[in-house]
Amino acid sequence: METVQVQEQITAMPRIGDKAPAFKAVTTQGNINFPADYKGKWVILFSHPADFTPVCTSEFMRFATLENKFGNANCKLVGLSIDGLYSHIAWLRTIKDKIEFKGMKNVEVKFPLIEDITMEVAKKYGMIQPGESKTQAVRAVFFIDPKGMIRAIIYYPLSLGRNFDEIYRALIAMQTSDAFKVATPADWNPGDDVIISPAGSCGVAEERMDKKDGELQCGDWFFCTKKLAKEELLHTVLKN
Ligand code: BEZ
């Protein structure tokens, strides 16, 4: 294959708003057909550099411990690294049998871990970033919605373990935006005020500034927030 073509394959970067690239893969939980098998669910597809490495081990323990929490938000987890199936199995067994970290022990990873020794999936998802490593995937996190669309992407370098509170917060924030047609401001967490879309006409702008005691709090015509009770939000987004 031409060098240019290989380079293009490696650097293909799916973007927010794209359909999640489809693939079939072997995993530690059997074969999967992605994203078709996950229709109607959110999926977090994440890559990690290699099995039997410490940062990755800590991350897998956190993800496995949080799997039910993500499940309650209608979200499945799928991992990937450029290792073979038997390496994956051996590593996950070692984690369960031997590793203790921050109060977690005997942690069983029950979500699928894709074998991607050919890098086919990693290349499709832009997980190989040659400036960081030509042979290991960076720590990518793809949020894929129930319609199979990519809704958010976070990349971390090899040395930096992910923040799982942020990954969960981002998921719930996007579900909140979908369910209530609102946006979420900086550092938003369930229970905080949400942002309503900016006024789209002079009339609406005026109306918003005139309303002094409605449900909206407007700092200016383009900056309006409203309350969204945590209970209502969680009842809606965690109902599945
Ligand atoms: C780790 O998971 O510990 C790791 C993997 C690749 C490079 C650096 C750290």
Q: Is residue 198 part of a domain?
A: yes
Probe ligand 1: pick from 53, 133, 138, max atoms within 8 Å of CB?
53
Task: Indicate if ligand 1 lies below 6 Å from the C-beta of 54.
Answer: yes
Q: What is the mean pLDDT of residues 3-24?
A: 82
Q: Is residue 142 part of a domain?
A: yes
Residues 229, 111, single domain; the answer is no
Domain harbouring 82, CATH code = 3.40.30.10
Q: Is residue 170 part of a domain?
A: no
Q: What is the mean pLDDT of residues 103-130?
A: 97
Q: Is residue 137 part of a domain?
A: yes
pLDDT at residue 207 in the model? 86
Q: Ligand 1, residue 136: give the atom nearest the CA.
A: 6
pLDDT at residue 208 in the model? 85
Q: What is the mean pLDDT of residues 105-133?
A: 97
pLDDT at residue 43 in the model? 98
Q: What is the mean pLDDT of residues 163-171?
A: 98
Beta bridge partners of 220: 223
pLDDT at residue 2 in the model? 64
CA–centroid distance, 24 to ligand 1, in Å, is 27
Whether residue 169 contacts residue 189, with contact meaning beta carbons closer than 8 Å, is answered with: yes
pLDDT at residue 193 in the model? 97
Per-residue confidence at 6, pLDDT binned at 50, 70, 90?
low
Residues 159, 224, single domain; the answer is no
**Residue whose CA is at the smallest distance from ligand 1 atom 9:** 159
Which of 148-152, 184-188, 209-213 shows the lowest mean pLDDT across its residues? 209-213
Residues 78, 137, single domain; the answer is yes
For the cut 80, the answer to whether the pLDDT of residue 57 exceeds it is yes
Residues 63, 19, single domain; the answer is yes
Give the tens place of pLDDT for each residue, 32-44. Answer: 999 999 999 999 9
pLDDT at residue 10 in the model? 62
Residues 122, 153, single domain; the answer is yes
pLDDT at residue 28 in the model? 98
Q: What is the mean pLDDT of residues 74-89?
A: 98
- Whether residue 224 lies in the annotated active site: no
Longest dimension (CA), the chain: 66
Instruction: Supply the DSSP symbol for 190.
Output: T
Residues 154, 222, single domain; the answer is no
Task: Indicate if ligand 1 lies below 6 Å from the C-beta of 171.
Answer: no
Per-residue confidence at 199, pLDDT binned at 50, 70, 90?
confident
Residues 14, 128, single domain; the answer is yes
The residue count for the chain = 240
Whether residue 126 contacts residue 13, with contact meaning beta carbons closer than 8 Å, is answered with: yes
Q: Is residue 176 part of a domain?
A: no
Q: Is the peptide bond before 185 cis (omega within 30 degrees of 0)?
A: no
Give the tens place of pLDDT for each residue, 17-32. Answer: 999 999 999 999 999 9
Q: Is residue 172 part of a domain?
A: no
Domain count, the chain: 2
Domain that holds residue 42: 2-163
pLDDT at residue 237 in the model? 87
CA–centroid distance, 138 to ligand 1, in Å, is 10
For the cut 70, the answer to whether the pLDDT of residue 75 exceeds it is yes
pLDDT at residue 15 in the model? 97
Predicted TM-score (pTM) of the model is 0.93
- CA-nearest of 218, 223, 220, 216 to 198 is 223
Q: Ligand 1, residue 58: give the atom nearest the CA.
A: 2
Between 203 and 104, the higher pLDDT residue: 104
